[in-house]
Amino acid sequence: MSHVALVGYGRFGRALGTLLEAVGVEHRALDPVADIPEPLRAHSVGELLEGAELVVVAVPVPQMRDVLRSLRAHLRPEHLVLDVGSVKVKPVEALMEVLGAQVPWVGTHPLFGPLSLAMAERPMRVVLCPNPLHPEAAPRARRFYEGLGCEVIEQTPEGHDQVMARTHALTFFVAKGMVDSGAAADVPFAPASFKALSRTIETVRADAGHLFNAIQQENPFATQARGQLLAALQDIHRDLEAAPPATQAPETSGVAVPGLEPEAPSPREPREHIDALDRELVELLARRQELARRQRRAQEAGNEPARTETLLAVRRAWARELGVDAQEVEAVFRVVLGSSLR
């Protein structure tokens, strides 16, 4: 796409704009309440759509239908309209009602948010719901997202929302419950299992806490998923209340945990753990290179050798804290820095 129009410049609209800029795609944005940089700001719908091939509607799901109606008179058959909502049944219904067969459209859900984009997390995936009224629209949308470096997964709106109800909606539901109960408060020590859950909670709070109501209320399958989870938790709670004290119970009694009973999985060999860590290291190096590229674009030229020595001194200190040879760690980071510069 040579030019993209962004309708809505909230957290996701801004983040998508940085992604478009990174791959050299020209774009403008229109949002009456957002602070849009002047070079990117459109002052009217007509100005926004002038020369645009693709129109991305990045507004809250409850506002989708009204925004599409305000755009309708300005849209032409050569435009391609995408929504980026976190649910798909209701946005697709709005696209069908307002644009129908006259203007090409596709429902999409980027499975990444402003925080994951800021941290250069990969892979970036997008769910795309093909539109039978416009068979050519889905391939155009796929090319657009693949041009941004995304992996594209095709799914029906109903299939998408069912999966999101059992994953996205339940993750937010559990995270909010733990936050509201105080379970996510800072503690001086915690087991590894809670640390992993705590990272999920923090990601939810930082990346999309403002989406909570939309994810729960606009997904037609979310209510059922929450009910099933609550029923399962109540059953577990009752079983635990009815179980005899551990000091009186035989080893085989208690609440069964599928996958862990009657026998635990075989432990992994050290080589398998090393392979998994090496894979994670490569993924982290890829993310670091992307963040380094962004930093160089935004950073004024300066005393690069001094910055490098300061960075290496900090890494040596981290190594000493963890009981690792500081000189070896420095050597690794000199290679990493050299690769990033190249």
**pLDDT greater than 70 at residue 208:** no
- What is the per-residue pLDDT for 299? 67
* CATH 3.40.50.720, applies to 3-155: yes
- What is the per-residue pLDDT for 255? 59
Q: What phi and psi, each to the nearest 5 degrees, are found at residue 297?
A: -65, -35
Distance CA 204, CA 271 (A): 33
**pLDDT greater than 90 at residue 116:** no
Q: How confident is the model at residue 267 (pLDDT cuts 50, 70, 90)?
A: low
Average pLDDT of the residues in 117-128: 89
Q: What is the pLDDT of residues 71-85, one digit of tens each?
A: 999 999 999 999 999
Q: Residue 56 forms beta bridges with which residues?
A: 6, 82
Q: What is the pLDDT of residues 137-178, one digit of tens each?
A: 999 999 999 999 999 999 999 999 999 999 999 998 998 888
Are 68 and 43 within 8 A, CB to CB? no
- What is the per-residue pLDDT for 170? 94
**pLDDT greater than 80 at residue 257:** no
- What is the per-residue pLDDT for 326? 93
Are 62 and 90 within 8 A, CB to CB? no
Q: Which of 149-163, 241-255, 282-296 has the lowest mean pLDDT?
A: 241-255
- What is the per-residue pLDDT for 259? 53
Q: How confident is the model at residue 307 (pLDDT cuts 50, 70, 90)?
A: confident
- What is the per-residue pLDDT for 248? 61
**pLDDT greater than 80 at residue 314:** yes
Domain with CATH 3.40.50.720 in the chain: 3-155
C-alpha 172, offset from chain centre: 13
Does an H or E element contain 144, and which? helix 137-147
**pLDDT greater than 70 at residue 298:** no
Single pTM value for the model = 0.81
**pLDDT greater than 90 at residue 68:** yes
Distance CA 125, CA 152 (A): 6
Average pLDDT of the residues in 29-43: 95
Q: Residue 3 forms beta bridges with which residues?
A: 26
